[in-house]
Structure formats: structure tokens, C-alpha cells
Amino acid sequence: MRKRSLPVNRRLARGLAILHEDQDILVVDKPAGLLTVGTDSDKSRTAYFILTDYVRKGSARSRSRVFVVHRLDRETSGVLVFAKSEEAKLRLQGQWEETEKTYLAVVHGKCKRRAETITTYLAENKAHVVYSTSDPARGKLSHTAYRVLRQTKDFALLEVDLLTGRKNQIRVHLAGIGHPIVGDKKYGKGGQSHTRLALHARTISFQHPSAASGSSFPQKCPATSASWLAA
């Protein structure tokens, strides 16, 4: 049975925009400043809250809901995927290591290398700060690849491929090589006047869960994969 694709670029609350919707998934463009899901210390309106309300169509009695597949940091904008069923969520997460995720980042400084893959073990301390370590017993092996798209005297625009998906990975890795992301108050330069973090999840490409289960999928993408771009 073919999956019905609904109109794209539908604007919801707080600047959240739907890029794609079908019976299995919701792909959205998350603005900077919006949490993916709530935390113990912050239970404000989130992307999860807004999309749950959307699929319930305003009915508090509805049992419809969305399922979190992955997350973006609050200050990171860009493409974010939710599932409409637990089965679709598990199928997407089961192939997550093969899912391609590309970001854009503006960083401080002049990059000596036009392209590089950063590899460290990442760990998190009690203050919830992620850091690099050479000790495999303390952290998880993490890889981040980047290439320079444009370079000025003081800044560089990078295309970043997230090869593993650790918390704050891109921010920690780029700061660790001396090129913190512009506007990063946690891992970057202190006293910055920039209003937001210059990190954007630009594209994501994965096998659609219906293709994985043997059903057809109408998106015109090679190898039954689906790709989405957030402007």
C-alpha cells in the first residue's frame, strides 16, 4: 500500500515547520531556541509537545502521539525526524549508524586544513559538560568529518558530516581543534555577542521505515532512501 504524503512547509507554533509527513514519519525544520523534548529542569513547549498537539488535532482525548527518533540541541536549528508509531521509531533507530547527517557550521579562526576527520573518545562530567579524552574506558569513540566551504580572515563556513551521534559532538570536536562554533556559550569563546549558535542540521538521508518493512514508498529517491533538506 502506498503511503500518502501530505503538503510540505506547513508552519506550526514557535517557528516549527513540517518538511514532510506521511503515515509513518514527520520531518520538521526546528528553529534555534526550541527544545526537542522537555528536561527535568525545563518543561516548556517543545517540538515534541507541538507535534503531539498537531497529530491530535486539538483533541485532548486522542491517543495519537509522535515518537522521538533523535534530538537536536536547543540552540541547533534544522532537520529533525519523528516517528508516528513505535514500530517506525525502532526501524529508524535500528539503521541510525547508516543514516547520513550533514550540518553547516560557522566557526572562529582560519582553518589550516581544508578537510579533516576528528576522532576522539567523548565523555561527560557531573556538570553535564562533554569533553574529549584519549582513554577508551572513559568515553565513547566519536568521529566528525568537516570540509571548508568558505574562509575569511576571522571565520570559516564548514560542511560537517556527523559520523557518530554523541551529545554535543560537533561542538566539542570543533572547539577541541581550536575552531569553536560562533555563538557557542558552552564550549566556545566567552563574552560573545552573537545571538545564536551558528550550527544548522542541513540534510538527513535514511531508508524509509516502510521500505524496510517491504512496503512501497512514493518518494523519488534512489535505493528506497529518503532525503530531506532544511534551508
Q: Which residues are marked as active site?
A: 73
Q: Letter for the amino acid at 19?
A: L
Residue 106 gets which letter from DSSP?
Answer: E
Number of H helices, E strands in the chain: 4, 12
CA distance linking residue 68 with residue 202, whole number of Å? 19
**Cβ–Cβ contacts within 10 Å for residue 31, how many?**
15
